[in-house]
Structure 1
Amino acid sequence: MTALKTLALALLMVTGAASAQQAPPQAHVTTIMTKPLPDYPGKEAVMLMVEYPPGSVDPVHRHNADAFVYVLDGSIVMGVRGSKPVTLGPGQTFYEGPHDVHTIGRNASSTKPARFVVLLLKNKGAPVLVPAK
């Protein structure tokens, strides 16, 4: 009976460890506005509100757009391939070009949420985000 109890305890420990290693929470993205840009045929502006829960991490991606970030609350870490990551707080900005690969995007805090606005200038109808390697 002792071996059975040991096996049951080991199973509980493994199950608990697996659930503790869940993926970090994902960002919540809300489209605030989409606006065609008549002076730039084929282009549009998209404004997004991004909310990072504590510990949130983005996958590596690109926007194929000019992306302008403005931090409202909390602290975020942003980085593109070939550049050092930067930590930004309220009132600070970040720019990502149409050929950049966004390698780091995350909440700098594991206990506090962060919010920021993103303005994308992109091809009309193109996706906002494209996975990248």
Structure 2
Amino acid sequence: MNRLGIGAAFGMFLLSAVSQAAEPKSTAVVQALMTEPLTDIPGKEVTVLTVEYLPGGASLAHRHDADVFVYVLEGAVIMQVDGKDPVTVRKGETFRERPTDIHRQSANASATEPAKFVVFMVKDQGKPATRPLEGG
């Protein structure tokens, strides 16, 4: 391989390494456990999932358009909906969101330990479980 070829290959390697380093790493691991229609409530379904925030992890502001119930399995999370103060929800504790709530803050309370919680939501059938806020 000539010098030009070696230089081009090295340049491609550096470009690849820089672009990979610039990609944000996910701070949440979401695992869908089930989604089932509610027989006695036409047009509604229940979705159950787990969310694990890595140390220091958080999500952007969002909404669920659903009745959401959270139970913390490990660690602690800081939760806040618009119009209310943030609360720290610890292992064994619960948190509730209403369909009209804006979930302003959802974050791991620890910078060194992961946090994991189960989410149970009742929502319109076929609609997304979470949607980002328009305009941030």
* Global fold match (TM > 0.5): yes
* Residue of structure 2 in register with 1:129 after alignment: 130
Structure 1 residue 57: Cα displacement: 1.1
Q: Which amino acid is the alignment partner of residue 88 of structure 2?
A: T
- Count residues with an aligned counterpart: 114
* Residue of structure 2 in register with 1:34 after alignment: 35
Give every structure 1 segment of 4 or more consecutive aligned residues whose post-TM-superposition deviation is greater than 3 Å: 21-25
* Counterpart check, 1:61 vs 2:52: no
* Residue of structure 1 in register with 2:96 after alignment: 95
Contact conserved, 1:79 with 1:102, CA < 8 A, in 2?
A: yes
TM-score (norm 2): 0.80
Q: State the distance in 2 between where 1:100 and 1:45 align.
A: 18
Contact conserved, 1:61 with 1:130, CA < 8 A, in 2?
A: yes
TM-score (norm 1): 0.81
Q: Which amino acid is the alignment partner of residue 38 of structure 1?
A: T
Unpaired runs of 5+ in structure 1? 1-18
Distance 1:23 1:108, change over 3 A: farther
Structure 1 residue 23: Cα displacement: 4.9
Structure 1 residue 22: Cα displacement: 7.8
Spell out the pairing of 1:1-80 with structure 2 (5 A cutoff): 23=24, 25-80=26-81
Distance 1:24 1:82, change over 3 A: farther
